[in-house]
Structure 1
Amino acid sequence: MRATGTTRRLMSLGLCGAALAAALAAPAAHALPGERHRPLWTATDTGTDARFRGLAAVNSRTAWLAGTQGTVLRTSDGGRHWRDVSPPTADGAELEFRDIEAFDARRAVALAIGEGEASRVLRTDDGGATWTESFRNTDARAFYDCLTFFDSRHGLAMSDPVDGRFRILSTADGGRSWNVLPGKGMPPAQEGEAGFAASGQCLVSSGPKDVWLATGGAATARILHSGDRGLTWKAAESTLPAGDPARGVFGLAFRDRTHGIAVGGDYRPDQESPRAAAVSDDGGRRWRQAATPPAAYRSGVAWLPHSRSAALAVGPTGTDLTTDGGRTWRTLGTGSYDTVDCTADGGCWAAGEQGRAARLGRF
């Protein structure tokens, strides 16, 4: 998802990032006079039961959702109203959207996942009134999971390994056309290694050229980094659970090209995830296990705006907060969300199953 800005200013919530983090961390911050508890997230009515794993927050008022049943929604009034802008398909296929990247209220690029031609990329320039299919996968061996953009022109999408290496698509025109990058700069994949299309955060970027790719399903859960927009990559081992197709790194967030957080675990509800988070302060070359990780599997993570140390992680069993750069985490709420995204003006959004979409509550 989009990296937060660096300009320090007051947030629309009336608090700067550090103050918001302190408010979230304080036990009394959830209580109002006469109330025992105030929800962390303020739910919005999307009018659908689709599961939204794709989320692109533009600002505190504008956000896009992408999910099951070919559903794409957009709000421009802070979630009070969601407009159904789902793209029709010429072949009648019901697309499974798992990621969306938005440049503003009118321009967005959405990724549908699946084997073969089920993996597609679509773009809109008019707020979802019309969509153009800019890529359709014709290789039955490929399965695309996530996409990311460095700016409004340059972006990448990633597929599970083909011929033993992760496959990378590149665009230099805002997602209007795509090309497969040469695979010679990509390290060999481990047996069973793949990406998780769980939150739109298995491929994330920061700055004009740096990008990270999260993996799982193999003996080791890895995080791959490229400093040249996907031409060459180096792999680093994470500390997250591995050794099973259901385990690995599910979500990444970098607040700059140096400081990153990885979350994941085992997505099966009957399995524990004791090591569900890790941190890096060297651009992903090395990862350290969180001293106090989230209590369970987490699929999405986002840095709080204008904070150097605070971030939120979400998953099916709750939301967690760190105020020390990912070293320790504390559970704040138990609502189910798959993905989270924050914006430079102080808007934080979350989305998930049963049509869930919410904004961070006011404290």
Structure 2
Amino acid sequence: MKKLLYPVLFGVLFISCKKAEVTEFKLAFSKIAATDTLLKDDSISIRGLAIDGSKAWYGANGGKYGWVSLAGETDFNGVAAHDTLLPEFRAIAQTKSHVFILNVASPALLFKISKDGKFTKTVYTESGEKVFYDCMKFYNDMEGIAMGDPQNGCLSIITTKDGGETWQKRDCTGLPPVAEGEAAFAASNTNIIIRGDKTWIVSGGKKSRVFYSEDKGKTWEVFDTSIIQGGEMTGIFSADFYDETIGFAGGGNYEKPELNTGNKILTTDGGKTWETVGEGKGPGYISCVQFVPGSNGSGLFTVGRNGVFYSYDRGVNWKKLSDATNLNTLQFADEKTVIAAGQKVIVRFKLE
């Protein structure tokens, strides 16, 4: 027995040492070196962005949509209306040839727009007291998904398999039931995250969870989170996954934007479990969070009502990069270029 004891002890120590290993985090940048205003409109409010090469497409209030050029070319702006209604577009997605914009509230109006801006078509409509769509994404050029607030006890899910030409609404059969007071926030078009065939949808409100599908929405699981929840304006407002395992979600309490505890959570197992990070550090309310490309899942960039923040170590520590509090959403154009939009503006941050 004694002869066996030493190898066993050595094995335990070896395993313990392996578990104690810590990822080495490196600072990718330390400041915003330059800020360019790409669009200024005192009447515009933007919560949806999509980067398409040298263009940044947006959907906005008042039926407004369009693109700003990232290469100094001519911008484009249009208006999509329904009779006399000017929708508020907060969800946006794209395929190789088209951009899709979807509004909040009823009636839901989903427009398909050719990327040359010459063709616009309404491809889905839905009316009802509880109709309110939050986010839309595509898996590929043919298959897409949009989600909205609950109806009939489950999240509203519509899907397309023909490049966005037609959309079908899922009934609640096969969809997980929502909890009382559980919904979603149309804050930045980042409620849905897609990596390959895998889909994550985040909810908020009195219950804030992660809905997960590994087969493009055919079957679903639901995972609890440790983010602050319980009130109508609490929970996850935005999430991102660096790959199929490392994910981050942020939000908090919209009515207490300075609160920076319980509002930042991290997963390293594909969303099954979440840990609270950065307690009392960095941003309070987070409207949008995105992983920094090429950061090995360690860099995070956020906008919200407390300013612009960056973390190089998966949300443990934070650095404030800008006092801008009017930005709702962001997308990376490349590893050192961020396009952000919100109230009255679209801006470009050059990082250094």
Q: Name the TM-score class by shorter chain.
A: 0.7 to 0.9
Alignment match, 1:332? 321
Equivalent of residue 131 in structure 1, options 120, 124, 137: 120
Alignment match, 1:22? 27
Q: Does 1:96 align with 2:88?
A: yes
Alignment match, 1:49? 43
Q: Does 1:229 align with 2:216?
A: yes
Contact 2:258 2:306 in 1 (8 A): no
Give, as a single letter, the amino acid of the residue that structure 1 aligns with 2:27: A
Once residues 196 and 24 of structure 1 are traced to their aligned partners in structure 2, the CA distance between those partners, rounded to angstroms, is: 30
Once residues 333 and 80 of structure 1 are traced to their aligned partners in structure 2, the CA distance between those partners, rounded to angstroms, is: 27
Per-residue Cα deviation, 1:44-94 (whole angstroms, up to 9, x for no partner):
2344531100111123x211111111111202344775321232x241211
Matches within 5 A, 1:1-363: 22=27, 24-25=29-30, 29=31, 38=33, 41-59=35-53, 61-78=54-71, 82-87=75-80, 89-103=81-95, 107-115=98-106, 117=107, 119-207=108-196, 209-218=197-206, 220-268=207-255, 272-292=259-279, 293-308=281-296, 309-336=298-325, 337-343=327-333, 347-354=337-344, 356-363=345-352
Q: 1:298 deviation in Å?
A: 0.5
SS in 1 for 2:182: coil
Alignment match, 1:35? none
Q: 1:270 deviation in Å?
A: 6.1
Q: 1:264 deviation in Å?
A: 0.4
Contact 1:44 1:80 in 2 (8 A): no
Q: 1:345 deviation in Å?
A: 6.9
How many residue pairs were aligned? Answer: 324
Contact 2:191 2:239 in 1 (8 A): yes
Contact 2:101 2:111 in 1 (8 A): yes
Per-residue Cα deviation, 1:4-63 (whole angstroms, up to 9, x for no partner):
xxxxxxxxxxxxxxxxx73533xxx55xxxxxxx55x4322344531100111123x211
SS in 1 for 2:173: helix
Give, as a single letter, the amino acid of the residue that structure 2 aligns with 1:259: I
C-alpha RMSD of matched pairs (Å): 2.1
Contact 1:305 1:343 in 2 (8 A): no
SS in 2 for 1:240: coil
Once residues 328 and 214 of structure 1 are traced to their aligned partners in structure 2, the CA distance between those partners, rounded to angstroms, is: 24
Contact 2:160 2:167 in 1 (8 A): yes
Question: Whose RCO is larger (CA < 8 A, sep 6+)?
Answer: 1
Once residues 89 and 247 of structure 2 are traced to their aligned partners in structure 1, the CA distance between those partners, rounded to angstroms, is: 26
Q: Which runs of 5+ in 1 are unaligned?
A: 1-20, 31-37
SS in 2 for 1:142: coil
Q: Which runs of 5+ in 2 are unaligned?
A: 1-25
Once residues 266 and 97 of structure 1 are traced to their aligned partners in structure 2, the CA distance between those partners, rounded to angstroms, is: 23
SS in 2 for 1:183: coil
Contact 1:241 1:273 in 2 (8 A): no
Larger strand percent: 2
Q: Residues 295 and 138 of structure 1: is their aligned pair in 2 closer, same or farther, counting only changes over 3 Å?
A: closer
Q: Which has the larger radius of gyration?
A: 2
Q: Residues 222 and 137 of structure 1: is their aligned pair in 2 closer, same or farther, counting only changes over 3 Å?
A: same
Once residues 320 and 350 of structure 2 are traced to their aligned partners in structure 1, the CA distance between those partners, rounded to angstroms, is: 16
Contact 1:110 1:121 in 2 (8 A): yes
Q: 1:344 deviation in Å?
A: 5.2
Once residues 288 and 145 of structure 1 are traced to their aligned partners in structure 2, the CA distance between those partners, rounded to angstroms, is: 25
Contact 1:85 1:127 in 2 (8 A): no
SS in 1 for 2:204: coil
Structure 2-normalised TM-score? 0.85
Identity of aligned residues (%): 27
Once residues 266 and 193 of structure 1 are traced to their aligned partners in structure 2, the CA distance between those partners, rounded to angstroms, is: 14
Once residues 345 and 271 of structure 1 are traced to their aligned partners in structure 2, the CA distance between those partners, rounded to angstroms, is: 28
Q: 1:269 deviation in Å?
A: 5.1
Give, as a single letter, the amino acid of the residue that structure 1 aligns with 2:293: P
Per-residue Cα deviation, 1:301-360 (whole angstroms, up to 9, x for no partner):
111122211120111221111112233332221112111111457542111112x11112
Once residues 270 and 259 of structure 1 are traced to their aligned partners in structure 2, the CA distance between those partners, rounded to angstroms, is: 26
